[in-house]
Structure 1
Amino acid sequence: MVTLLAAAGVLVAVFVGFNIGGSSTGVAFGPSVGSRLVRKTTAAALFTGFAFVGAWTVGRNVIDTMSSSIVPASQFSPVASVGVLFFTGASLLVSNLYGVPASTSMTAVGAIVGLGLATGTLNEALMFTIVSAWIVAPLVGFVVGAVIGRYLYPYLDRRIAFTRLDSHLIRLDRSGTVPRPRFNDDASIRDIVGSAAVVVIACYMGFSAGASNAANAVAPLVGSEGPLTVDQGVVLAVFAFGLGGFTIARRTLDTVGDDITELPILAALIVSVVGGTIITILSMLGIPASLAVSTTCCIIGLGWGRASRAATAVELATPDPGRDPDVEVSTGALAASRAEDAPTGPTVGDLARGETPPEEPPEELPEVPDIGEKAPPELDRKSLFDPAAVKRIAVLWVLTPTLAVAGSYPLFLLVL
């Protein structure tokens, strides 16, 4: 019976890791594949490799927290391990059904909390720290995104351009005895530098995803009674990530992912760096947190920052009965927030769909309007930030781990 439960736990862990790898590969490497910088197979290989590095190094801290610190490792019996992994897998189903990037990490921790409450072994002090990090991390992502969107993004947008190459950036020259890699003949120095930045940041996202998500797939199986050691757990998790990356991620790479499809490439890279850095730091501290939540909050902050440029800080802080208080601001219109003669950068979705490459930026770029000046006429401020959507996302972020606790507690109370 124990052997069957252990086998079931491993299968459920592979299922969870498979789905994580499929979705995370698309989010991390969507811009790279859409721009023809790397092929889908190369993207899957790079994601798997860097996820392994993240899981093998920083990710061990998160595995240790989730496998032995929130509740004692001895509590992870075969039945408990399968139960925790079941609720983690269920969170993926909920997020897919509602189209919201619900946190697998938060739901997995919620299931472990239910186990701790049912057995009276919950480390309350550690949970206070983890929950505090869950509150602070999204706020940091939002604030950093807002500052960049309000003060830096318009200048970066006019100086940095991304194009979609007609053929892949690197090709093999087979004219000699030994095939040699060469850059695309149509690629300029600017293309090469920008392309390198896109790929490097995608690899960094893979590292962050591995560091934060390996524990979600295997932590319950690494307890004192679990069938796996930490090393074996990391290998199993990354194997499952790779399985998803080489299979279902191919479709995800075509559609890129709802969160970043309508973002300009520049915005997607900013969001990736900010979100990845937040999660890497938390993973180093052994705190399980959500990459999806941090990046989504950075997207929201970036959009709010762009829309808020039309008002000074004093005007934003001072209530004005004559001003529309319900300015709705969305990530998609970041691309539409340029002056007419500013360079038109593609969105991630444009590149993935193979739509017409953007025009080259003019030699003399227009000046960026000062903060408080009237926004460009085509700037749809009501499309940059949608409070109703933000409320829906925030409710589901809180609801999914709460449901995990509410569901796992009575289950563990009955079966343990």
Structure 2
Amino acid sequence: MVSTLVVVGLLVAAFVGFNIGGSSTGVAFGPAVGSRLLRKVTAAALFSLFAFLGAWTVGRNVIATMSDGIIPAAQFSPTAAVGVLFFTGLSLLVSNLYGVPASTSMTAVGAIVGLGLATDSLNEALMFTIISAWIVAPLLGFVAGAIVGRYLYPQLEVRLSFTRFERHLVQLDRSGRVPRLRLNTNAAPRDLVGSLLVIVIACYMGFSAGASNAANAVAPLVGNGSITLEQGIVLAVAAIGLGGFTIARRTLATVSDGITDLPILAALVVSSIGATIITVLSYLGIPASLAVSTTCCIIGLGWGRASRAVTLAEIATPSVEGDLGAGLTTGALAASTDSDDPPLSPTVGDLASSMAGERPGRRDRDTAVPPIGEEHVDELSAESLFDRAATRRIVILWILAPSLSVVSSYLLFALVL
């Protein structure tokens, strides 16, 4: 007979997965839906499919780590499992209240660490590896973003085109006897390449989200044997998919406050880099935060873009006038080399709010990329990429949320349970 605590655990796990699906679907498929490349239902279906693939493949390793690696599986009693899942769900609530993408993975690991400390069963060697990965992953995101921003971003910007179609990319042609699918007649070849990239990277984000987040919802229940690994994956993805089909519709409509100011090309770059980092860590069985790595990549990408105003030698040599360092900011992604022209790439927010319109892009002008050192700092820094105060608040909560999770979990399991 299934105990009440197991039922409560399953409900809490479904709640965690539901919220993960609601937030992650919008972040992954916001650009695709905003561009009218996909409908919301199609986006939710694709996200659920690729989240399942991610969870069923590399996500197994993360579930194994969190269910029987950080602490022995025997420590996950029904009560302990509910407690750990409660703190994971609480982190989602705090994240939503403050509008900050707190790391569910880091908070879930923190709750398990608190249980391990209270029961003196923590695998310290594995935790050292996990914490090291938490430090290295954001640094890799920053470095990769900086390299792309300095050397590759301008070339990508002039070769790719992103637009918001007034009608969806794939349409049903009813002019003949048999209805058939056809592409939007207003889509130029370069638009098709850009559109395909948007959809492919969105699916990749869904794969990465499933690989890293399924464990957050079901690892304690798998650890105590309430459900099998396969059942846990199905439960997690079902809950994630339900969130994608329901509460994610609002997120898809407004996209996400964290990426609306980004040019869509920048959003695709940071999504690709962040998803790759998290997929590799998931393959290694290390739970990590996609939000942390992606945000660090945004900062690195903006800095790299702005640094094109000077050569490496000039960066290494302090300016005589002392104003070079002040001029290099990270707010350089949406700027155009000609202030009289619109940017090559509309922002994600433009696409979602119809501000970008259906436009062919700047194909009729000279799109040569100025050499490094010949771009102007004022033009590259025309727009601010991120708010310093907001970034400070995010970083503080990234540190505070897992720390509170560890302390609260330890006190609960050491003094109460």
Q: Same fold (TM over 0.5)?
A: yes
Aligned AA (1:36): R
TM-score of the superposed pair, with normalisation by structure 2: 0.94
Q: Equivalents in 2 of 1:268, 1:45: separation in Å?
A: 21
Q: Equivalents in 2 of 1:183, 1:382: separation in Å?
A: 35
SS, match of residue 182 in structure 1: strand
Deviations 1:224-277 (A, max 9, x none): x33111111101100111111011111001111012111111111111110111
Which residue in 2 is equivalent to 1:390?
A: 391
Q: Equivalent pairs: percent with the same residue? A: 70
Which residue in 2 is equivalent to 1:162?
A: 162
Q: Equivalents in 2 of 1:295, 1:246: separation in Å?
A: 24
Q: Equivalents in 2 of 1:99, 1:35: separation in Å?
A: 24
SS, match of residue 3 in structure 2: helix
Which residue in 2 is equivalent to 1:301?
A: 300
SS, match of residue 181 in structure 2: strand
Q: Return the offset for 1:189.
A: 2.1
1:35-114 maps to which residues of 2 (within 5 A)?
Answer: 35-114=35-114
Distance 1:116-1:337 versus aligned 2 partners, 3 A rule: farther
Distance 1:121-1:178 versus aligned 2 partners, 3 A rule: farther
TM-score of the superposed pair, with normalisation by structure 1: 0.94
Q: Return the offset for 1:123.
A: 0.2
Kept in 2: contact 1:307–1:381 (CA 8 A): no
Instruction: Judge which range, 131-140 or 347-356, deviates more.
Output: 347-356
Kept in 2: contact 1:36–1:169 (CA 8 A): yes
Q: Equivalents in 1 of 2:135, 2:408: separation in Å?
A: 23
Instruction: Judge which range, 277-286 or 387-396, deviates more.
Output: 387-396
Q: Equivalents in 2 of 1:263, 1:97: separation in Å?
A: 23
Q: Equivalents in 2 of 1:373, 1:384: separation in Å?
A: 21
Deviations 1:350-379 (A, max 9, x none): 010011425521434243233233516544
The alignment yields a C-alpha RMSD, in angstroms, of 2.1
Which residue in 1 is equivalent to 2:261?
A: 262
1:408 aligns with 2:412: no
SS, match of residue 262 in structure 1: coil
SS, match of residue 366 in structure 2: coil
Aligned AA (1:259): G
Q: Equivalents in 2 of 1:49, 1:179: separation in Å?
A: 27
Which residue in 2 is equivalent to 1:272?
A: 271
Mind listing any 5+ residue stretches in structure 1 that lack a counterpart? Answer: none
Instruction: Judge which range, 119-128 or 83-92, deviates more.
Output: 83-92
Q: Equivalents in 2 of 1:83, 1:319: separation in Å?
A: 54
Q: Equivalents in 1 of 2:8, 2:384: separation in Å?
A: 46
Q: Return the offset for 1:328.
A: 7.3
Q: Equivalents in 2 of 1:316, 1:93: separation in Å?
A: 43
Instruction: Judge which range, 95-104 or 123-132, deviates more.
Output: 95-104
Distance 1:26-1:305 versus aligned 2 partners, 3 A rule: same
Q: Equivalents in 2 of 1:164, 1:93: separation in Å?
A: 33
Which residue in 1 is equivalent to 2:117?
A: 117
Kept in 2: contact 1:337–1:380 (CA 8 A): no
Q: Equivalents in 2 of 1:336, 1:128: separation in Å?
A: 41
Distance 1:170-1:26 versus aligned 2 partners, 3 A rule: same
Aligned AA (2:395): A
Distance 1:324-1:269 versus aligned 2 partners, 3 A rule: same
Which residue in 1 is equivalent to 2:310?
A: 311
1:13-412 maps to which residues of 2 (within 5 A)?
Answer: 13-176=13-176, 178-223=178-223, 225-320=224-319, 322-323=322-323, 325-326=325-326, 329-330=329-330, 333-340=332-339, 341=341, 344-357=344-357, 358=359, 360-375=361-376, 377-380=378-381, 383-384=384-385, 386-412=387-413
SS, match of residue 362 in structure 2: coil
Distance 1:176-1:93 versus aligned 2 partners, 3 A rule: same
Deviations 1:285-305 (A, max 9, x none): 000001111111111111111
SS, match of residue 361 in structure 2: coil
Instruction: Judge which range, 165-174 or 337-346, deviates more.
Output: 337-346
Q: Equivalents in 2 of 1:319, 1:16: separation in Å?
A: 50
SS, match of residue 383 in structure 1: coil
Distance 1:247-1:385 versus aligned 2 partners, 3 A rule: closer
SS, match of residue 195 in structure 2: helix
Kept in 1: contact 2:330–2:381 (CA 8 A): no
Distance 1:176-1:369 versus aligned 2 partners, 3 A rule: closer
Q: Return the offset for 1:176.
A: 5.0
Mind listing any 5+ residue stretches in structure 2 that lack a counterpart? Answer: none
Q: Equivalents in 2 of 1:107, 1:338: separation in Å?
A: 42
Q: In the comparison of the two structures, how many residue pairs are matched? A: 414
SS, match of residue 200 in structure 1: helix
Kept in 2: contact 1:328–1:386 (CA 8 A): no
Distance 1:188-1:373 versus aligned 2 partners, 3 A rule: closer
Q: Return the offset for 1:382.
A: 7.2
Kept in 1: contact 2:84–2:111 (CA 8 A): yes
Show structure 1 runs of 4+ deviating over 6 A.
Answer: none
Aligned AA (2:316): A
